[in-house]
Structure 1
């Protein structure tokens, strides 16, 4: 596969189960080293799309290429270059974490040392010889992440990878994914925890009822959505700045704090006025969150006024 070709390519991909269209006309590319989030409600088609990329199911229509090949053709060499973490991770509870990961390492032609190194990397080395039946949900999830990373995969597909993880472990996982993407591995992760994706991924693909309804970086999605920007001011005294227009809907929060919202095109002028006003002691700018963008694009698709 040439380095300049996308690692994953979809063109008009669809998957039907009888009258149900799980995926409809999905088209996008994932380049080498991209870290992309696939988001959507339950039943939006995220898991189906990942299974199509893995070759576990065949598309009903469209063209799909992973690492330059048809994933449904079943090429063993191509599959060894993929990592996969399903949403529900299950392992034999009678085996130890080390036994399970070494087993998967053998399947991928990797040495036992590679499995042990990954156990260390995901923080399970101290529990490596314990039976999985005694693992917590978070520990099983970390073991699943470790098996997905075996064999230095060219692309890693992770379905709800942070389920059951505490904040410190989630931080470590995202740091690991950033490192992988920096080394050239394409990372595609599905998550419902939209707030934790901000600043973690470079691009977001939003799905709804099997369709891709938005695709871009957070900055690009914000430009498309044109949602209001929130500004929070800390005022000195009770003076009310005369430049606070009523259409910005300013309101007091108490303790000298005032919150308002403005359209994106008014943001810079408003910031200049606030910075020049001696009655403004501090300010915080809050752009639309990914949760708000997600709701906006779903409502826009359904013809509901944002």
Structure 2
């Protein structure tokens, strides 16, 4: 894969505070990456470094083959950015705002205006921004970030204030961009909606990268148990089925449901036991560790490290 962003041993300090410490990773064409961490973990600082808004204290950042902090950063027009808190001139309409940013990026204004329809602002595009709700301003920010089909798209809490339908539309737009080869880096606390969409997850804690990989790779590394839920008929209120291994972590929930925490190397064995001929299992759900659980695991692990 072709690399579009290269972060190499980067540290950014503000006085005695280290916002980012020794971070290294590469982002590639066609990737949709979730950058997650608590407030103050270094996510926004990393985006500002990639944009060239700040310079690293040490280490280097390369975006589209160039130093983004250089005076003449040639790739700036190929970047899209949506900050967490968007702010536009309240006296302008959405159309005027979008046209302004299109001219700044030297992109065709008509094409930029079409993006207002894509984010659901077509009917309100002639209204002043001062009349917009937070969610509408967020949509306008997304339309601005998408001008010119950016090769690298940096999105900081982009779905804040969006209703469920617009969230779905938003993800459809950025997934389409990624399929066309764009690099999409998305920072969000909404881990549930990222779980099935991000091809890769980077976890930050106190400015340090503590995990980096696909959801499946992180599950293999974490080795957290998988929950197996089985609907079993014919059991008394607190009775466990005869096939349940005595050394397994089993419990009863909701009356007829047996839940087992299965270690990664015992999932298949436990499923075979439960579904063997003669057992009264009516239904099975297999629930792997969620992104929320993986996030909590790697944060705990990093806090315990010497």
TM-score range, shorter chain: over 0.9
Equivalent of 1:182 in 179, 182, 189? 179
Q: Is the 8 A contact 1:14 1:24 kept in 2?
A: yes
- The separation in 1 between residues aligned to 2:247 and 2:23, in whole angstroms, is 40
Q: Is the 8 A contact 1:85 1:148 kept in 2?
A: yes
Equivalent position SS for 1:26: strand
1:279 aligns with 2:280: yes
1:198 aligns with 2:199: no
Matches within 5 A, 1:142-221: 142-221=139-218
- The separation in 1 between residues aligned to 2:271 and 2:209, in whole angstroms, is 35
- The separation in 2 between residues aligned to 1:267 and 1:74, in whole angstroms, is 56
**Structure 1 runs of 4+ with >4 Å offset:** none
Corresponding residue of 1:298:
299
- The separation in 2 between residues aligned to 1:233 and 1:163, in whole angstroms, is 37
1:251 is displaced (CA, Å) by 1.6
Q: Is the 8 A contact 2:233 2:281 kept in 1?
A: yes
Q: Is the 8 A contact 2:112 2:148 kept in 1?
A: no
Deviates more, 1:271-280 or 1:7-16: 271-280
Equivalent of 2:35 in 31, 35, 38? 38
- The separation in 2 between residues aligned to 1:227 and 1:74, in whole angstroms, is 47
Q: Is the 8 A contact 1:218 1:290 kept in 2?
A: yes
Corresponding residue of 2:235:
238
- The separation in 2 between residues aligned to 1:223 and 1:40, in whole angstroms, is 20
1:76 is displaced (CA, Å) by 4.7
Equivalent position SS for 1:72: coil
Q: Is the 8 A contact 1:35 1:181 kept in 2?
A: yes
Q: Is the 8 A contact 1:55 1:74 kept in 2?
A: no
- The separation in 2 between residues aligned to 1:199 and 1:161, in whole angstroms, is 17
1:94 is displaced (CA, Å) by 1.5
Q: Is the 8 A contact 1:31 1:186 kept in 2?
A: yes
Gapped runs of 5+ residues in structure 1? Answer: none
Q: CA-atom RMSD, angstroms?
A: 1.3
Equivalent position SS for 2:294: helix
- The separation in 2 between residues aligned to 1:71 and 1:106, in whole angstroms, is 21
1:256 is displaced (CA, Å) by 1.1
Q: Is the 8 A contact 2:84 2:158 kept in 1?
A: yes
Gapped runs of 5+ residues in structure 2? Answer: none
Equivalent position SS for 1:259: strand
Corresponding residue of 1:247:
247
Give the TM-score of the pair, scaled to structure 1: 0.95
1:97-140: CA deviation from partner (whole Å, max 9, x where unpaired)? 11101110010111221122100111111110011111111111
Corresponding residue of 1:265:
265
1:46-99: CA deviation from partner (whole Å, max 9, x where unpaired)? 000000000000001112110010000033531001000011011111111111
1:139-174: CA deviation from partner (whole Å, max 9, x where unpaired)? 110110110010111100000001011111111111
1:245 is displaced (CA, Å) by 2.1
1:274 is displaced (CA, Å) by 2.0
- The separation in 1 between residues aligned to 2:131 and 2:247, in whole angstroms, is 58
Count of residues in correspondence between the two structures: 301
Equivalent position SS for 1:230: strand
